[in-house]
Amino acid sequence: MDYTEDELEIFPPGQEEGPDTGRERPAQTGFLREHHLVGLERFLDSQFVLPGTNFKFGFDALIGLIPVLGDVFTGAMSSLIIADALKRGARKRILAAMVGNVIVDMMVGAIPLIGDWFDFAFRASTKNLKLHRKEFGKDGDFYEERE
């Protein structure tokens, strides 16, 4: 099929009208929904509460006790939030901050003893979920409300 230059237009998601419909194109969606993002963040950073305190920690701190492999595994899991933000079209500044959080978590977490304590305090997934919500909104077009 031959197209003229006027017929071939590329429209960024959510910014321009579609060529055939005259309607605004839907915003680009990620592969995770709000409850998946929250569940991943809880799993990694706040699944458990230390009895008698309000201190929360997750599997990132526990799996991080396995030298190097634990930090690589939890870094990969935490990167799912970044991948979702990338697919949705997050700004480079937001993506860079998210990647920085995961790199710091992985690098410092890999240091014996110090890294283990660091994993209990530094919550990369929580920070990245906050950045994700700041970029796309919690209840905006990007998320389905769950009650």
Q: What is the DSSP string of 58-80?
A: -HHHHHTTSTTHHHHHHHHHHHH
Q: What type of residue is 112? A: P
Q: Is residue 117 part of a domain?
A: yes
79, pLDDT greater than 90: yes
Give me the domain span that covers residue 108. 34-136
Q: Is residue 147 part of a domain?
A: no
Q: Output the six-digit token pair for 38.
A: 């929250």
Average pLDDT, the chain: 79
pLDDT at 28: 61
Q: For residue 11, tell me if it sits in a domain.
A: no
Give the total residue count for the chain: 147
* Per-residue confidence (pLDDT) for residue 15, from 0 to 100: 47
Q: Is residue 145 part of a domain?
A: no
Question: Which is more confident, 89 or 25?
Answer: 89
| Cα(93)–Cα(97) distance, integer angstroms | 6
Residue 4 counted as domain residue: no
Look at residue 75 and tell me if it is in a domain: yes
How many beta carbons lie within 10 A of that of residue 137, not counting itself? 11
Q: What are phi and psi of 126, to 5 degrees?
A: -65, -45
The pLDDT value given to residue 27: 55
Q: Is residue 47 part of a domain?
A: yes
Q: What pLDDT, in 10s, does the model give residues 10-25? A: 545 544 444 444 444 4
Residue 143's φ and ψ, nearest 5 degrees, are: -125, 145
What are the residues whose beta carbons fall under 8 Å from the beta carbon of 131, sequence distance 6 or more? 85, 94, 97, 98, 101
**What global pTM score does this model have?**
0.72
Per the model's pLDDT, the better-predicted residue between 99 and 7 turns out to be: 99
The answer, yes or no, to whether residue 122 has pLDDT greater than 80, is yes
Tell me the average pLDDT across 71-80: 92
Q: Is residue 24 one of the residues assigned to a domain?
A: no
* Average pLDDT score over residue span 128-143: 75
Residues 6+ apart with CB under 8 A from 111: 118
Considering its fold, how many domains does the chain have in total? 1
pLDDT at 5 over 70: no
Q: Using an 8 Å Cβ cutoff, are 27 and 14 in contact? A: yes
